[in-house]
Amino acid sequence: MVLILSGSVCADDQPPIDDRPRLIGLQAPDWFHLSFLDLGEDLQTARDEGKRGLVVYLGMDDCPYCEALFQVNFQQPDIVEYTRRHFLVVALDVLGSRTMTTLEGRSLTEREFAVGQRLNFTPSFLFHDLEGEPVFILRGYHSPYRFRAALEYVADAHYQRESFRDYLARADPPPRFDADDLNHRDFFRPPPHRLDRSQVAAERPLVVFFEQGECHACDVLHTEPLGDPEVLDFLSLFDVVQLDMWSDTPVVTPDGRRLMARQWAEEMDLFYAPTLVFFDELGEEILRVDSVIRLHRLQAVLEYVLTRGYEEYPSFQTWRTR
């Protein structure tokens, strides 16, 4: 089975998120599995209950994107029913100090586990099959239609045959438009896109905006966060490039290879538009934002990169809560 999506559904599926710092608390629905933090035991419970996999949810206190997950996605009866039927879900706190046992038998704190997964954004979901193998990661907040697709992608084992990018494209083929259908901004560098930093270091970090035409989420990004003066000031300190993630636009990548934009996006398994990928002056990827992002998270990500916070802190999340 493949989920059938439509452009009209996608266009209306961007719930408003107030991502200002504020007290929210640590949330989890009561139907999440009450775990003793031994993932091996939890996996066996998933098998015993006839589930199709074990899901580790990682959230944190005062996370507005986690709030949206519980107030929007998990208020959809079909999402709740499908999740409960097919998966055993265990909740962890990315900043937690409780000791847990991983599927490999290692004892770690929740925080250490989250850092090891290099999860920059909450909420995140780690999907495992019944053998305990990691099969898919969904990072950050995704709207209900894409979250449903992720659940079906794992439950029906599509990951054995195709990437999530290809699965989504097969269910809802991306629009094929020319560059005039993208949101043009003065800070985007014009082609040709020679982004090679492998031989000579650049003077500034690089951010590549992977977008597509007829993209409601892209429109939201451009009309809200990218209209903020502080964001624009930060971006003036980057090399900024925009690519249509489905196009044949030629690119010399930061590591010096010649690819088309769609090839590069496929290689990185980019499935969400807009995705922002950040690179340092030597062409090494720092992090990517491939989920819903609003003003305050974008401001913080730009500051994290510009201040080189990644050199001291292993993830954006640990830097954010330093």
Strand partners, 259: 251
* 7-171 and 179-320 have identical folds: yes
- 170 in the Ramachandran plot: left (φ > 0), alpha (ψ -120 to 50) or beta? alpha
Q: Please give the class, per CATH, of domain 7-171.
A: alpha beta
In angstroms, the CA 40 to CA 104 distance is 8
**pLDDT at residue 175 in the model:** 63
pLDDT at residue 176, as a whole number: 61
Instruction: Please give the pLDDT value at position 7.
Output: 39
CATH 3.40.30.10 matches 179-320 = yes
Q: What is the pLDDT of residue 91?
A: 97
Q: Identify the pLDDT of residue 56.
A: 98
- Sequence ranges of the domains in the chain: 7-171, 179-320
- Average confidence (pLDDT) per 10 residues, the chain, 322 residues: 42 74 85 97 98 97 94 96 98 95 97 90 97 97 95 97 93 66 93 96 98 91 94 98 96 98 97 97 97 96 97 90 84
pLDDT at residue number 219 = 92
pLDDT at 129: 98
10 and 216 Cβ atoms separated by less than 8 Å: yes
Question: What pLDDT score does 179 carry?
Answer: 56
| pLDDT attached to residue 4 | 41
CA–CA separation, 202 and 95 (whole Å):
35
Q: Containing H/E element for 225? A: none
User: With helix as H, strand as E and coil as C, how does 24-65 read?
Assistant: CCCCCCCCCCCCCCEHHHHHHHHHHCCCCEEEEEEECCCCHH
One-letter amino acid of 168: L
Q: What is the pLDDT of residue 11?
A: 44
